[in-house]
Amino acid sequence: MTIATRKQREKEEMRSLILDSARKVFLEKGYSQTSVRNIAEEMEYSPGTIYLYFKDKDEIFHELHEEGFRRMLEKMQPLEHVPDPFERLKAMGRVYLEFARNNKDLYDLMFIIQAPIKHEEEPEKWQMGQRTLEYLKNVLSDCQAKGHFKNQDVEYLSFAIWSTVHGMSALYCRDRCKAYPNIDPLDLMNNGIKAFNEMLEKL
Amino acid sequence: MTIATRKQREKEEMRSLILDSARKVFLEKGYSQTSVRNIAEEMEYSPGTIYLYFKDKDEIFHELHEEGFRRMLEKMQPLEHVPDPFERLKAMGRVYLEFARNNKDLYDLMFIIQAPIKHEEEPEKWQMGQRTLEYLKNVLSDCQAKGHFKNQDVEYLSFAIWSTVHGMSALYCRDRCKAYPNIDPLDLMNNGIKAFNEMLEKL
DNA sequence: TGGTTTTACTGAACACTGTTCATTATATTT
DNA sequence: AAATATAATGAACAGTGTTCAGTAAAACCA
C-alpha cells in the first residue's frame, strides 16, 4: 500500500469525520443554528481545517442532502415487494410522512431549506432527489396499467401527490399544524392522508 | 389636541416607518438576508432606535406576518360572490397559488420561515391565520350542504387541501420544481391543481 | 423665562457568524 | 540530516442581533 493511497484514504476519513460531526450538530441544533465553529469544536479541530476539505458550509449541506435522499430511498425500497401498485402508492405516502416526522431536521434539509444553488444549474447535485421522484412516477404508471388514474398525466399527477405529502410534512416541520389547536399533529396527518387516499381511489 | 396624543401618534408613525422600511428590505433581499442594520439604514436611523419600538427582529416578523394574512384575505374576499361553493373552493385554490407566486417572500414569511415562537403559546399572534383557515372550512361545509364530500370530516379534509396548495407553493418557493427540468413551474402548478380538482370533484 | 425632568436617539461595544490566510508544525522525500 | 511538501492552526476581516451609557432635544414646572 503506497503512501499516496493512504493519504487518499486519510483525506476521505477526514471528510467523513467532518460530515459525521456536522450531521450530529445539525440534528441537535438545526441547520441555521449550527456554525462552522460548532462543527469544528465537535470534532476537536480548528474551524480553518474544515475549509481544507469543503469549499464552504453549503458543500457540507449538499453532502448531507444527498445522504437524506439515500436514507429515504432505503425506506422506500422494501415497498417494492407490495404486489398491488395502488397499495404500494399508499404505503409510500405513509413511509414519506413517517420519514418526515422521524427525521424532522433531515427533511427540512432536503425539502425546505433554501437550496443554496450558487453556481446555477448543477443537476448532478440532485441525482438522488431525481431518483426518488422517478420511483414515484413508476408506481403511478403501474397504477395506470391496473386501471387507475385514467386520462391523467403522470408528470402532473406526481406533482400533485408529492405536493400533498410534502405540504403536510412542511406544515408539520414548521409548526403550522398549530392552526388546529385541538387536534394532535399526528392525528391530523394520519386522517389527512386518509382523506387524500380516498380521493386517489376515486380518481 | 394634547401633547400626549401627538406623542402617541408619533410613536405609531415611527412603528409604521420601521415596518415600511423592513417590508421594503425584506422583499428586496429576503428575510434571512435582511439585517436590523439594513432596515435602520433604509429609514436613516441608527440600529438602536428600532429596539425602542420592537422587542426584537421577530416582533417585526410577526407584524408583517399578520399583514400577509390580511392581504391574502383581501384577495379571498371577492370570492364570497361566487354562488356555487365548489366553484368558490376551486377559485380559492387558484387565488392561493397566485398569491404565493406573486408574493414569494411574503408567502415564505407566512408559511415557511421557522416561526419564532419564543414565549410558547401565543395564539393571539395567529389570529389572521386562524381566520383564513376558518374561511376555508366554511366553504367546505357549504360544499357538504350541496352534496359534496360525503362522510368527510371538515377538519381533516381542510388540512389535506391546505397541504396540497401549500405543498405546491412551498416547492415553488424553494425551487424544488426544478425536479421537473422539462416543465415550466407555472405549468406544473396549473396542471397539478387541475388534477387535484378532479379528485375533489369525485370525492 | 430658566431650570429640571422626561423622552428619543445615537453609536460604540459585546458576542456571535462564515471565511481567509500567513504562520507554524508535521510528515515525506531527497 | 537537510530540504521540501503537506496539514493544521488561530488570528483577523467583515458581517450579524442586541444592549446600554451617553447625549441632545423636547416637555414640564417654577
C-alpha cell at A96: 414519506
Residue B124 pLDDT > 70: no
State which protein residues have CB closer than 7 Å to strand C.
Answer: A 3-4, 6-7, 34-38, 47-48, 51, 56-58; B 7, 10-11, 14, 45-49, 52
End-to-end CA distance of chain B: 61
Four-residue CA torsion sign, B30, B33, B36, B41: negative
Mean pLDDT of the region B154-173: 97
Angle at B21 between CA B15 and CA B25, to 5 degrees: 145
pLDDT of res. A125: 62
pLDDT confidence band for B120 (50 / 70 / 90) = very low
Residue A126 pLDDT > 80: no
Name the pTM for this structure.
Answer: 0.90
Using C1' positions and the CA of A49, the closest nucleotide is D8
A144-160 pLDDT per residue, tens? 999 999 999 999 999 99
pLDDT confidence band for B118 (50 / 70 / 90) = very low
The answer to whether residue B135 neighbours chain A at the CB level (below 8 Å) is no
For the residues of B39-85, what is the DSSP string, one character each? HHHHTTS-HHHHHHH-SSHHHHHHHHHHHHHHHHHHHHGGGGG-SSH
Instruction: Return d(Cα B4, Cα B55) in angstroms, integer.
Output: 22
B31-47 pLDDT per residue, tens? 888 999 999 999 999 99
A70 CA to centre of own chain: 8
Please report, rounded to a whole number, the percentage of residues in chain B having pLDDT higher than 70.
Answer: 94
Residue A117 pLDDT > 70: no
pLDDT of res. B131: 86
Residues in chain B: 203
Lowest pLDDT segment from A102-106, A177-181, B117-121: B117-121
pLDDT confidence band for A124 (50 / 70 / 90) = low
Nearest CA to A15 out of B174, B28, A79, A7 is that of A7
The answer to whether residue A199 neighbours chain B at the CB level (below 8 Å) is yes
Average pLDDT of chain A, as a whole number? 90
Identify the closest residue of chain A to B168 by CA–CA distance: A163
Residue A119 pLDDT > 60: no
CA/C1' separation B118–D10 (Å):
35
Residue A120 pLDDT > 50: no
